Amino acid sequence: MLAYISSTHLFSDDFCYENNCNKLNWKKFLKKVNKISNNQFSNSWDQELYVRELISIMATLNIKDSNLIDLYSSFKKTIFGFPELTTVFKDDKFDVVIIEFLKGDKIPLHNHPDMTGVILCLDGEVRIEIFNPVENNGSFSGTFIQLKEAITLTKGNFSTLTTQRGNIHSLEATQDCILLDVFTPPYRGDRLERYRWYTRSSLPEPNSPNIYKAVEHKQFPGF
Give the model confidence (pLDDT) of 78-103 as tens digits: 777 899 999 999 999 999 999 999 99
Confidence class for position 21, pLDDT limits 50, 70, 90: low
Does 126 score more than 50 pLDDT? yes
pLDDT value of residue 188: 87
In whole numbers, what is the pLDDT of the chain averaged over residues? 88
pLDDT tens digits, residue range 43-69? 999 999 999 999 999 999 998 899 988
Stretch (H or E) spanning 189: helix 189-193
Measured between alpha carbons, how far apart are the two ends of the chain, in Å?
Answer: 39
Q: Is the pLDDT of residue 172 over 50?
A: yes
Q: Where are the domains of the chain?
A: 7-74+84-217
Indicate the CATH number of 7-74+84-217 among 1.20.970.10, 3.60.20.10, 3.90.1640.10, 2.60.120.10: 2.60.120.10
Strand order in the sheet with 157-161: 7-9, 157-161, 116-123, 177-184, 95-101, 84-90
Strands in the chain per DSSP E? 7-9, 84-90, 95-101, 106-111, 116-123, 125-134, 143-154, 157-161, 168-173, 177-184, 197-200, 211-217
Confidence bin at 22 (pLDDT 50/70/90): low
Q: pLDDT digits over 138-155, tens only?
A: 667 778 999 999 999 999
C-alpha span between 68 and 117 (Å, rounded) = 19
List, for residues 112-125, the tens digit of each pLDDT value: 999 999 999 999 99
Rounded average pLDDT over 104-131: 97
pLDDT grade, residue 221 (50/70/90)? Answer: confident
- pLDDT value for 73: 79
Q: Global pTM?
A: 0.88
